[in-house]
Structure formats: C-alpha cells, structure tokens
Amino acid sequence: MRANAFDDLSPRERPTRLWVSRAGGLKEAVTVAVTTTLAMFLVTAPDSAAAATEPGPRWARLATSEVAEDPEVARVIVKYRADSPLRRVQSTPSPEGAGTTPAPRHATRLSQTLRAPLSDGRVLGPHTQALRGQGLSSSELARRLSSLPDVEWAVVDERRRIHNLPNDTLFADNQRTATPAVGQWYLRAPNGQAASAINAVGAWSTTMGTASVVVAVLDTGVRPEHPDLQGKLHPGYDFISLDRSGAATTANDGNGRDADPTDPGDWTNANECSPGERASASSWHGTQVAGLIGAATNNGAGMAGAGWNVMVLPLRVLGRCGGYDSDIIAAMRWAAGVSQNVGTTAVVNVANPYPARVINMSLGSQGICTAAYQEVVNELRTAGVTVVAAAGNDTGLKVSVPANCPGALAVSGVRHIGSKVGYSNIGPEVALAAPAGNCVNLQGTCLYPLLTTINLGQRQAGANGYSDGTDYTVGTSFAAPLVAASVGLMLSVDPTLTPGKIREILQATVQPFPTSRPLAGGEDPVPACRAPDTRDQLECFCTTTTCGAGMLDAGAAVARTLALRPAPQPDPGASGGGGNTGGGSGGGASGLGWLIGLLVATLALHALNRRGRRRGRNTGRLG
C-alpha cells in the first residue's frame, strides 16, 4: 500500500475545493489544494528585528486556576449600590483615611440576610469588598448576593495563575504585517472566535515540556537548517528504500535508506504518480508537522511549538508520490526503540539513541487496518509508545489506515468554531478532535490556517519561512501533531503514563463539541455528523461517535496528568501562590517534592527506553 501525507497539497486525494454552503454568500471555503505560489510567503525578515527589540519576559497574562474550588469555602467580590441602605449603617472607618467614603464591610449584616456565615475580606473601593463564606460554594454565594437589592454585582473571587506566553513574533493575535492576522490562534485558550483552540497556553502554566521527551515525526523528512527548528531536532533517519528498479525516484535524495532525513523535496510531474494527476510543488510536509510540535519556542522569532521544549525525531518515510508501508512500519519500530534494523533487505543494525514516546503519523490512505499495521501498533503500545495518527482528508469518508487501527490515537479535524471541517474523515475510531485549519472566506487570505514552519522552494529547497494566509496550512495532518505535542507535554509531567492512560486523560478532559452556529441569510442549516459511508460529508456538527470524545484541551489534559501523578506533589510551602510546576527553563515554584518526582520520573523513562532497546536488539536479529 502506498501512503500519502494528509495535507492540502495532494490534489490526487480529493476535490480541489469543497463548499460548505451552497447558498448565497458562501461562508466557508475548505480549500484542500493549496496554491503553489510559494514565493508569496510573507514572513521572513521581521523575525531577527523583532528578536532584537522584543526579548521580553515570558510571564504575562493571568489565567483561571486549574486548582479545584473548595465547595465549602466561598470567595466573592461584591459591589454595593451607591444608594444601598447598607451604606447608611456603615460604621467602619475608611482605610483610606478621613474625608473618604467609609469602607464597605457588611459581612455581619449579610450573614443575617443570607443565613450563611460570612466574613469581611479586603476593601477594594468605596462600594466594593471581598467577602468569604462557609458552607457554600463561591458561585452559590455570588448568585445569592447578586439577587439582593443592595448589591450591584457579585462575582467569584477566582484564583489566577501565571501563563507562560512565548515571545515568538508570530504567536500573537492582531498581527500587523503577517497573515493570518490571528497568528497562532490554535494554541490559545478557547474563546468565542475560536472554540477549538487547544489551550496550549494553559498547559504551559504547568509545564513547558522537557527535552527528554521525544516525539517522532514520520513524514517527508525535515529542513534541518530552518532557523526555528535549530536545537529542536534529533538526528533521525531516512527510511525510504530504493525503488524496485534500483532508482531513487521516490527517495529523491540519490540513495535508499540513509542516516540523513533531510527533505530533498517531493515535487511531482504531471501523470507521475497516477494517470491524469497534475504536477505538484514540494510540500515540505514534514517540516510543517515538525514545527507545530517542536518549533524553537520563546526565541523571539517566528512561531511557537505546542510542545515548547519537547524534541522532534524526524523520520523520512514519504517521498515523491508517497511511500510504502514496509518503510513506514520499519520507521515506526526504529523510532520507538523496539528495532535497530535500518536495512532494506538484510538486517543492518543502527541504534536510535533517542527513542520516542510519541509517534506522529500524518499519513495514510483509505482502507482497512492491515495485520502489518495492527501488529506494530500493538507492539509500540506495549512498549509504552503512543501512536498519534491523522484521520485523513477524504471529505468525511471513513478514517484512514493506520489511524483506524485499534490502539492508535486517531485525530479528526475541526474548524475554528469546532464544527467538523469539510475535508476531515470521521468515524468511531477517532479518539478526539483538534483544529486542522480552515479559511472561512472565499476571497482574500485564509483566516484560520495553522501557521507553521515551511520551506519556500518550489521543487528544491529554497529559503525557509512560515506558512501563512496565502500559502496556508490546512489538513488533518496538522491536527494530529497538536495532539502529539500535547501528549509530549503530558509525558513531561509524568513520564510513567501509558498509552492507555494518555488516551483516557485526553478523552476525559476534552471540550464538548458545539451543536450549532449562526447561519447567514439563505444558508442551509449545518447537519449533525452521521456515520461515514461512501458519500462526502462536509461541515457538520460533531458527535462523540464521529469526531471523537471532544476537542483537545491541552491545558486540562496536563492539569489532569499533574493531579494524577503518582510522584510527590510540589511542596505546598514553597510559595504563597500557585506557581509553575513544570520542567523546562521557566522556573517558578520548584519544591523538593517536585525535584524528587522529576528524578523518579526520569529514572522510569530511562528504564523504559532501555527495555525498549533491549527488545529491539532481539527483534532486529530475528529480522
């Protein structure tokens, strides 16, 4: 079987354009054949300049705490009406001194009114104070206070924590010179505009990932000289064998398997891959996937990778017109450390010094999960390696192989608002959904693509840059690496997590799918997704039996991982507030408990890797 990359660059796989609405004022162009005018990429020069002027701190925005609210201890902030009778009985002197309005301290009187024990907290202003209560939740106290005639408003006094925001110039919203204007929208917390954003920012409050966690990218190779991948790539390997004729037409690097996974380009001529198929420019697909997972982050330039500090192991398995299962499976086993065999016909052992705990496979084609794939998925699962695979871009048909293999973590693609994106495949095999990029409009630049690292060369490699609103990145190929990176962050918090536990946590912490969206005049209603068959299925509202358990929430998944982590929790006495508890370079509260936990976890990871390598040697000799 020949497998293809799931991107927007392979017109042979699907129609050129899919329209979500046929009514007047088309609302969504799900373009699955990218333009080939790569020379029009925009973002190149500003990065170094920005790095010089914007080396700013990574600490900035406040975020809602993941710390669970104690249901018996209520904290609220309340503002009283200026004409409240409570103010006339006020007797407490103002902390702001004579001549100012008396401080509002009404806990005693409100305790009687609400029949709940309350105590005064800080005074925030002439009419505003904090209140604490016992025996009810914060939200309940706020609700009951809000109903009183004396109260203008009452809100929960939330605990907030720092968010680690990277200073990469393309990360931010409201881009002035680059497109999409929303920057790396898909990494932020979900909001009204982008319900499917994965909340990597929330995850980074806990961990920025550790370099000991390796995510393998089985793809077209990588452009290792890309400035935003510097220091983020392990050596990897090129698993593309020579063609049967002995030629290196598929490999395109002049030889068969070799130790250099550099992507030489996968351009094709018309009719080269199949009759009637158009010529295509090089996709640089592996470079795009690698950047989403592990672009150099907080380096003041370019983009941020969802996995921040996690490392990428590039394995080259797809060349011109795709690649063969035999090479892909060999790369899966070598990446995981269960095999050292890099030979094509005879066994040639070369150890992988950087065994991966996560394998990203943004590739495949329609068909059943073959015995060959099922066996290797099972083998990797037993070895503690999570296989993340894209559902495929066949316009809502069944999930492709290998994503449909039981045990693989299949990822479907949703639009920025959370509905299924037209091109994404669906089915009961899908574990969860993640944003895959969508354009929304038919004219102008694409509004919600997944900006990432790419090369700008048409055929051979040229300058390095980023995909943008003109030459845009959309496809389930790019949803899967967001999940793979999130798994990398989870493993950074707890390296002892098994693939089964990882799936369980991811599915338990998803955001629910939306069930409706506003429709423009004359626009057809968007249906609920149905079980896939042989008919196309464009935009639809996801169900848990079609697009997975829900939408990836990396922040919640990492928080859940931290809560379940068996190792000692961070020393609660180390600081007053909730600090950064993760690995990486960020610092924050790092108690002795955390250090012990990290040590235990690191030893566990090494033991796992050693076990994997031992098993690999045995298997490799058996061929």
Please report, for the chain, how many H helices and E strands are present, in that order. 12, 20
Instruction: Please check whether residue 295 is in contact with residue 305, taking contact to mean a CB–CB distance below 8 angstroms.
Output: yes
Return d(Cα 425, Cα 205) in angstroms, integer. Answer: 33
Instruction: Please check whether residue 509 is in contact with residue 202, taking contact to mean a CB–CB distance below 8 angstroms.
Output: no
Judged by CB under 5 A, the residue of 302, 407, 555, 586 near Ca ion is 302
Nearest to 163 by CA among 64, 60, 67, 65: 60
Q: Which of 7, 168, 219, 394 is catalytic?
A: 219
What would the two tokens of residue 305 be?
């990778």
163 belongs to the catalytic site: no
What would the two tokens of residue 406 be?
């039981």
Instruction: Please check whether residue 221 is in contact with residue 316, taking contact to mean a CB–CB distance below 8 angstroms.
Output: yes
Q: Which of 205, 477, 486, 590 is catalytic?
A: 477
Rounded to the nearest whole angstrom, what is the least distance from the CB of residue 595 to Ca ion in the complex? 29
**Residue showing tokens 């935009």:** 539
260 belongs to the catalytic site: no
DSSP secondary structure of 534-558: SS---SBB--TTTS-SSB--HHHHH
∠ CA 22-25-30, rounded to 5°: 60
> Is 238 one of the binding residues for Ca ion (CB under 5 A)?
yes
> Is 253 one of the binding residues for Ca ion (CB under 5 A)?
yes
> Is 338 one of the binding residues for Ca ion (CB under 5 A)?
no
Taking every pair of Cα atoms in the chain, the longest distance, rounded to a whole number of angstroms, is 95
DSSP secondary structure of 208-229: ---TT-EEEEEEB-B-TT-GGG
Q: Which C-beta is closer to Ca ion: that of 296 or that of 505?
A: 296
Judged by CB under 5 A, the residue of 37, 255, 515, 569 near Ca ion is 255
* Residues sharing a CB contact under 8 Å with residue 268, sequence separation 6 or more, in sequence order: 277, 279, 280, 320, 321
> Is 168 one of the binding residues for Ca ion (CB under 5 A)?
yes
Residues in the chain: 623
**Residue showing tokens 């106290």:** 141
Judged by CB under 5 A, the residue of 251, 289, 330, 358 near Ca ion is 251
Q: Which residues of 352-390 are buried (b: 16+ CB within 10 A; e: fewer)?
A: bebbbbbbbbbbbbeeebeebbbebbebbbebbbbbbbb
Rounded to the nearest whole angstrom, what is the least distance from the CB of residue 581 to Ca ion in the complex? 24
Rounded to the nearest whole angstrom, what is the least distance from the CB of residue 169 to Ca ion in the complex? 8
Rounded to the nearest whole angstrom, what is the least distance from the CB of residue 260 to Ca ion in the complex? 4
Which of these ranges, 124-132, 236-244, 468-476, 526-534, lies near Ca ion under the rule CB under 5 A? 236-244
Rounded to the nearest whole angstrom, what is the least distance from the CB of residue 395 to Ca ion in the complex? 33
Footprint of Ca ion on 58-77 (CB under 5 A): none
Per-residue interface string for the shown chain with Ca ion, residues 211-230, x marking contact by CB under 5 A: -----------------x--
Rounded to the nearest whole angstrom, what is the least distance from the CB of residue 336 to Ca ion in the complex? 21
606 belongs to the catalytic site: no
Residue nearest to Ca ion (CB): 238
How does strand 386-390 pair with strand 358-361? Answer: parallel
Return d(Cα 54, Cα 371) in angstroms, integer. Answer: 52
Rounded to the nearest whole angstrom, what is the least distance from the CB of residue 319 to Ca ion in the complex? 8
Q: Which C-beta is closer to Ca ion: that of 268 or that of 412?
A: 268
Which of these ranges, 48-56, 110-118, 298-306, 395-403, lies near Ca ion under the rule CB under 5 A? 298-306
Would you put residue 174 in left (φ > 0), alpha (ψ -120 to 50) or beta?
Answer: left
Inter-CA distances, 256 with 103, 239, 319, 333, 374, Å: 79, 7, 11, 18, 26
> Is 249 one of the binding residues for Ca ion (CB under 5 A)?
no
Q: Which C-beta is closer to Ca ion: that of 199 or that of 220?
A: 220
- Residue 299 DSSP one-character state: S
Taking only Cα atoms into account, the Rg of the chain, rounded to an integer number of angstroms, comes to 26
Q: Which C-beta is closer to Ca ion: that of 302 or that of 449?
A: 302
Judged by CB under 5 A, the residue of 77, 131, 162, 296 near Ca ion is 296
* Residues sharing a CB contact under 8 Å with residue 53, sequence separation 6 or more, in sequence order: none
Rounded to the nearest whole angstrom, what is the least distance from the CB of residue 333 to Ca ion in the complex? 18
Q: Which C-beta is closer to Ca ion: that of 259 or that of 270?
A: 259
Which of these ranges, 112-120, 167-175, 440-448, 477-485, lies near Ca ion under the rule CB under 5 A? 167-175
Q: Which C-beta is closer to Ca ion: that of 140 or that of 260?
A: 260
Per-residue interface string for the shown chain with Ca ion, residues 257-276, x marking contact by CB under 5 A: -x-x----------------
Rounded to the nearest whole angstrom, what is the least distance from the CB of residue 450 to Ca ion in the complex? 15
Q: Which C-beta is closer to Ca ion: that of 345 or that of 443?
A: 345
Q: What are phi and psi of 503, to 5 degrees?
A: -60, -45
Per-residue interface string for the shown chain with Ca ion, residues 172-211, x marking contact by CB under 5 A: ----------------------------------------
Rounded to the nearest whole angstrom, what is the least distance from the CB of residue 248 to Ca ion in the complex? 7
144 SS3 class: helix
Which of these ranges, 162-170, 354-362, 389-397, 478-486, lies near Ca ion under the rule CB under 5 A? 162-170
Q: Which C-beta is closer to Ca ion: that of 296 or that of 330?
A: 296
Rounded to the nearest whole angstrom, what is the least distance from the CB of residue 400 to Ca ion in the complex? 26
Instruction: Please check whether residue 171 is in contact with residue 187, taking contact to mean a CB–CB distance below 8 angstroms.
Output: yes
Q: Which C-beta is closer to Ca ion: that of 261 or that of 579?
A: 261
Q: Which of 226, 234, 285, 416 is catalytic?
A: 285
Which of these ranges, 49-57, 293-301, 547-555, 568-576, lies near Ca ion under the rule CB under 5 A? 293-301
Q: Which C-beta is closer to Ca ion: that of 313 or that of 414?
A: 313
Residues in contact with Ca ion, counted by CB under 5 A, come to a total of 11
Nearest to 214 by CA among 611, 609, 620, 585: 609
Active-site residue list: 219, 285, 477
Q: Which residues bind Ca ion (CB under 5 A)?
A: 168, 228, 238, 251, 253, 255, 258, 260, 296, 299, 302
